[in-house]
Every structure is written in structure tokens, then in C-alpha cells.
Amino acid sequence: MRDTETSGTKPKMVGRPFPRGPLYGAGALVALSLFAAVFLQPDRGAMQNAAAGPDAGAVENATVVSTRNLRFEDQADGAVAVFDADEATLVTVLPPGSNGFLRAALRGFARDHKLEAGAAGVTGPAPAATGPSPPFRLTLWSDGRLSLEDLMTRRATELTAFGHTNAEAFARLLPPRTATP
């Protein structure tokens, strides 16, 4: 009972401090992890290609069924006006508080605009999620996929990967299909 003193059933350490080596090691590991998470970002292109998987070749064989270039503008009341960017016509107005997935996707693209502007050394206010920036291209493919491409960053997102309901929020923005004889 030289190193411990018993009081009740739990031993108490006397005269033996906790070793500092493991504490320094744990602290260094935490600091290194935080540094890596903040400053080391993986290559997005490589991640997107890896995520494409073994069926990526099938994607190359798909043809465009329908496409529309869209521009989104925030309204004062919180609504979002959707315009056909090529014809400068109003497609629809999304009421405030509706279309959460569509709004979240646009915020993601706005974040990429801000990152790209920062990488190019552009300073000033961050670009809005909607507004006068280059349009987005919404495309329905022959294999059933629906994609949204940011024409500024060239980043494309496969909307069908987020489920039918979420993809449908964007699919409604495509031009109406015409019947073929």
C-alpha cells in the first residue's frame, strides 16, 4: 500500500502524477486532426469521379432529352422567381418557405461561387444564391437522370441521387414535353 491509499473501496493515487507523454501525444493528434480538417481539402473532381463508380461509362452513352438554362432571383418577400435564362421569361415563382431542397441546392452552388471568387483573389461581398450570376443548366437525360450544372463553376450535381421527390422539385422547371407523332 505504498503507492495508494485506500479510503472506502476506491484507491487514490498518491505521489504519482499522470504521465505527460501521452497527454502531449493526444494533444498533438487533436491539433493535427483540426489542421487537416480545416486546411486540407480533397480534390472535388477526383471525389466526383470516384463517386461515379463502375457505371460511369453508361452515363457517357446517355443523350439529352430536355434541357433548360435557368436563372433564380430572390424576391423581397422571400419568394424565388425562376426565369428561363435564354428566353428571359418567368417560369414560376416559388413561395417563401417552400422547396427546401431546391433552395439548399442553390445555397450549395452559391458557396462554390464564393470559394471560386476567393481562390481567384476577388474581394468584396459574397455572391448571392440567386441573381445575376451565370445561369444553371437543368438537364433530363435519356437514362432517367436529372442533373443541374452551374455554368460558372462547371460543377454538376445528379439530382436523382437525392431521391425522386427532391429531383421532381427541379423536374417541374423543365419545359413541357411536346407529343411526337
- The pLDDT assigned to 117 comes to 67
Task: Let me know the angle formed at the C-alpha of 111 by 149 and 88, rounded to the nearest 5 degrees.
Answer: 50
- The pLDDT assigned to 158 comes to 92
- The pLDDT assigned to 135 comes to 87
Q: How many Å apart are CA 35 and CA 156, to the nearest integer?
A: 29
- The pLDDT assigned to 172 comes to 92
Q: What are the pLDDT tens digits along the chain (181 aa)? A: 555 555 556 666 667 777 888 888 898 888 888 877 777 755 544 444 444 444 444 556 889 999 999 998 888 998 888 999 999 899 999 899 888 898 888 888 878 877 876 666 555 444 444 445 678 999 999 999 999 998 888 888 899 999 989 999 999 999 887 544 4
- The pLDDT assigned to 51 comes to 45
CB of 131 within 8 A of CB of 147? no
Q: How many Å apart are CA 161 and CA 59, to the nearest integer?
A: 14
